A and B are shown apart, each in its own frame.
Chain A
Amino acid sequence: MKTKIVIAAMLVASSAFAQSVIINSPGRKPLVAIRNATIVPVTSAAIPNGTIVFDHGVITAVGANVAIPANATVIDGTGLFVYPGLIDSGSHVGLEEISAVPGTVDTAELGDINPNARAEIAVNPHSNVIPVTRVNGITTVVTEPEGGIISGSSAMIQLAGWTPQEMTLKAPLAMHIHFPRLRTNSFDEVPQDEEAAKEATKNYTKQIDKLRDVFKDAQAYAKATAARTNHPDIKRNDRDVILEALVPVVEGREPVVMHANLERDIRAALKFADEFKLKVILADAEDVARVIPELKSRNIPVILGPILSLPPREDDPYDLVFTNAKTLNDAGIPFAIQSQDAHNARNLPYQAAACAAFGLPKDVALRSVTIAPAQIFGLADKIGSLETGKLANIIMTDGDPLEIVTHVRRLFIGGEEITLDTNQTLLWEKFKARP
């Protein structure tokens, strides 16, 4: 306690933008067994009075009758629940410290076409946002650039680690395209006069053309690169890092997260993706209920959120954004949920619950922040559930992690026990003790 207060004092005294002084467990990945807990593996039925064992950062056993290795550190989980760490499918965690202070924000590069921008390069492992996010049970996030049209590639990062490299599970994870919208300065984006309409359409067309040109160049670049691989005698050309970043995208090896919200934009984005045969994950998509057959026929998964946001149009049902998850689930379309935020990423579990308040089964809501994002991003062998062989991203709670009043009691990321202290708890301790 005393150390905490000292650290808090240092933290506050040093500067308004002090970096986190929270220390992670120093690289130890011990052999641990949690027993007598209700274990919720997500991919199989809950195990009352179960045991989970992990070692060297990986889960080695889960079940009702699991032998506890003699040299394991045993944690009694009586009355507690064990869940896999939650996953945020889209955030700016690590990239944004104080939104209004540009020096602390690394989300949007200049210009429209930045496929070479890579989120993991700018992740600050010591951001105060990271501990604040993980104490609500979020162990892993997609952190992504925004801005322009091709914003750059995202990374799946663990919310613990001393360097961005230690944190990164997969990068580049996906290319993020904020698909051009027909923008005007008018109310509801509907141009109010013919001149404005023309201008808006012209700009919109220009943006789409620009995007198409880049993708055509990338296709040609990919072809040339492949040709040279097989025929070394072909004359070399200078490398182009922008096009190079798009090669795995046009070759269908790296998915594109298409950010498109309204029906018109989603349809345009899908058409574009068809033309270039892109592997698409649709994101944001508040109008998703209007394009169900199109998504179904193309096998496109969806990332919804933030769920706690107002419907886009005045005459939309008040619960439009809350019910999209149920609509997708009923149609059998895979989906996950994102915060699309940095500071509010900690509220991800309650965003998932809001879908359950409007008809989504509770277990599917839990999946939307665990196994579903793992599957959508091709990491289901590593994260998203409590299964042997997966990373030990584990939270111990006193209840359902999707309920606000639940507390995370212990937290393991990649098998390391992580402190539940944050700059916020330190300030709390400090001012609780103010004479």
Chain B
Amino acid sequence: MKRLKEVVGCRLSVGADQTSRFNSNSNYKPITDNRQPLLALAFILIATVASAQDIVIRDATILTVSHGRIEHGSILVHGGKIAAVGTNAQVTAPAGAQVIDAAGKFVMPGIIDTHSHTAVEGSVNEISLPNTGMVRIRDVLNNEDIDVYRQLAGGTTTALVLHGSANPIGGQSQIVKWKWGHPVSEWPIADAPRTIKFALGENPKSSNFRPPPGIPAQYPQTRMGVEEVIRQSFIDAKDYTARWDEYEARKKRGENPIPPRHDILMETMVDILKGKIDVHSHCYRADEIMMLLNVSDEQGFKIRELQHVLEGYKVAKEIAAHGVGGGTFIDWWGFKAEAYDAIPYNVALMTKAGVLTSVNSDSAELARHLNQDAAKAMKYGGLSEEEALKLCTLNGARQLRLDHRLGSIDVGKDADIVIWTGHPFSTYSRVETTLVDGEILFDRQHDLAMRKAMAKEKADRLKKEADDEAKNKKPGRPGKSDDETKPEVTDEN
């Protein structure tokens, strides 16, 4: 693997161990090798000198999301950004650019999933307290989670990775790009807002599970208690601020006060009040949605996005009036009592009421086909194709406050691009290629080519293990008989 040159002033700087996972394949044309040094701002200009990472996608049907559809269109990717987009005639490929012939194919911006638990190492719930707003997802991200690669193979490139919903305030979430093959330090989007997960309803009140014997039930057990936990947390935060203000004032007066105790949970709550952390809240029923809107009015904090919000359609105008977004499942329902009135028309009803609405996954599986969930908003409730496309792209970007760089095919935006065999709303289409920050991180043809090499590597390793074992005459590794390539059935016949 070649060492890459430092890319000056560019977010994409990568080190020796950080190259694209594709570079190890000699048959594959590497796109991250030989990157030329770039000036900090060069990438936003139309490139006149081609560098190795320039990519031109040619002759596709481009679903820009922001400005309609371009037939026989081309996109120039330079320095990880979209440098040009237009008809084939309008976009010139710099000499040496990698050209992807996308004739007959469809191109759309990378899918944005505003509700993910993928790549979280271990449990998603810090379940010990009603409010664990001090803990952070960014501390437990695992860049070897294969589901990330599988989601790239479904066109998903950006995710809001959240805690679970076991407590009213679960912890700080993280907005990431699925930069498969890159060190985890490069996954968080640097200028993304900080975010936190709240949760209402059955999960934080422990409705559908009981603690193991000997462990007492945890407060809260009702929606009343959930409200109290959230309200009390903000009241505490204001007292905390007052204590520090008083301390600072006394210091200014020349006194020698004892400083208050630092409390990172309280500092988190204070940052929410200051608008420095965006609240994304899990919720289902209309009454609990109203509860949170009221608490936010009373305590003076902003809710950025209601998550799941399956009964959002019942109070869509109240949600819209608060300027709050909604990210939802299109057609999951009936899995618990609070999901029994979930209807697939929720997205259309919220959209028509003026709620900024997205479809998101909460599932490593569903995150592989959020395009299909967006398509269902055309079926259920009759959104237009453009409105529906926004549900899995631009609207999510706006909810994450990243629409200046994500969510559509526009010059200057990040080159997060998905190439499909057909229209992404057709159930018969599949992803051919996915780019993140201008780098191909999934390519079906490459994937197919790699399978033989991987199978050989696996066989070689298994053989070596068996040989070593035979040599050492040690007893076999427990569970060796489970190896699916050589099944042994326990059978006492």
Contact = CB atoms under 8 A, between A and B. Distances in A.
A428 B349 contact: yes
**Interface residue tally of chain A, by bracket?**
35 or more
Given A357-B428, A358-B430, A194 B478 contact: yes
B261 interface: no
A55 B381 CA distance: 34
Interface in A357-410: 357-358, 362, 402-407
Interface string A80-122: 0000000000000000111111000000000000000000000
A404 B314 contact: no
Nearest to A129: B334
Contacts of A346: 331
Interface in B336-389: 336-337, 339-341, 343-345, 349, 364-366, 368-369, 372, 375-376, 378-379, 381
Interface of B is mostly: loop
A208 B343 contact: no
B24 interface: no
A263 B487 contact: yes
B479 A431 contact: no
Interface string B458-493: 100000000000000000001100101001111111
Interface string A287-318: 10010000000000000000011110111011
B454 interface: yes
Contact of A100 (B153, B208, B372, B451): B208
B337 A353 contact: no
A317 B208 CA distance: 35
B334 A201 contact: no
A162 interface: no
Contacts of A290: 484
Given A271-B491, A310-B147, A424 B427 contact: no
Nearest to A96: B334
Interface stretch (A148-156, A184-192, A250-258): A184-192
B490 A208 contact: yes
A361 B127 CA distance: 48
Contact of B334 (A98, A189, A432): A98
B427 A354 contact: yes
B6 to A, nearest CB: 33
A132 to B, nearest CB: 8
A209 interface: yes
A98 B336 contact: yes
A352 to B, nearest CB: 9
Contacts of B341: 12, 16, 427
Interface residues of B, number: 59
A91 to B, nearest CB: 13
Contact of A264 (B343, B421, B487): B487
A56 interface: no
A262 B490 contact: no
A318 B150 contact: yes
A191 B451 CA distance: 27
A357 B430 contact: yes
Contacts of B381: 428
B343 A427 contact: yes
B333 interface: yes
Given A315-B458, A404-B372, A99 B336 contact: yes
Given A17-B340, A310-B365, A343-B334, A262 B153 contact: no
Centre residue among A99, A194, A349, A405 by max chain B CB count within 10 A: A405
B372 A350 contact: yes
A182 interface: yes
A29 interface: no
A205 interface: yes
Contacts of A354: 369, 427
A338 interface: no
A310 B490 contact: no
Contacts of A191: 478-479, 482
A98 B379 contact: no
A190 B487 CA distance: 13
A100 B489 CA distance: 35
Nearest to B489: A268
A196 B335 contact: no
A344 B334 CA distance: 10
B25 interface: no
B149 A317 contact: no
Nearest to B369: A308
B487 A99 contact: no
Given A98-B334, A204-B490, A268-B491, A310 B482 contact: no
A353 B343 contact: no
A358 B428 CA distance: 8
Given A98-B335, A98-B337, A318-B149, 15 more contacts: A99-B335, A129-B334, A182-B482, A205-B491, A205-B492, A267-B487, A271-B491, A308-B368, A309-B365, A310-B147, A310-B150, A318-B150, A404-B376, A405-B379, A428-B381
Interface of A: 12, 16-17, 96-101, 128-129, 182, 186, 189-194, 196-197, 201, 204-205, 208-209, 262-264, 267-268, 271, 275, 287, 290, 308-311, 313-315, 317-319, 342-344, 346-347, 349-350, 353-354, 356-358, 362, 402-407, 424-425, 427-428, 431-432, 434
24 contacts: A16-B337, A16-B341, A98-B339, A99-B335, A99-B336, A100-B337, A129-B334, A191-B478, A191-B482, A192-B479, A196-B478, A197-B478, A208-B490, A209-B492, A263-B484, A264-B489, A267-B489, A308-B368, A319-B153, A346-B331, A353-B427, A403-B427, A404-B376, A431-B314
A-B pairs, top 10 by smallest CB distance, nearest first, are A353-B427, A100-B336, A428-B345, A197-B478, A264-B487, A424-B343, A343-B334, A191-B479, A268-B489, A194-B478
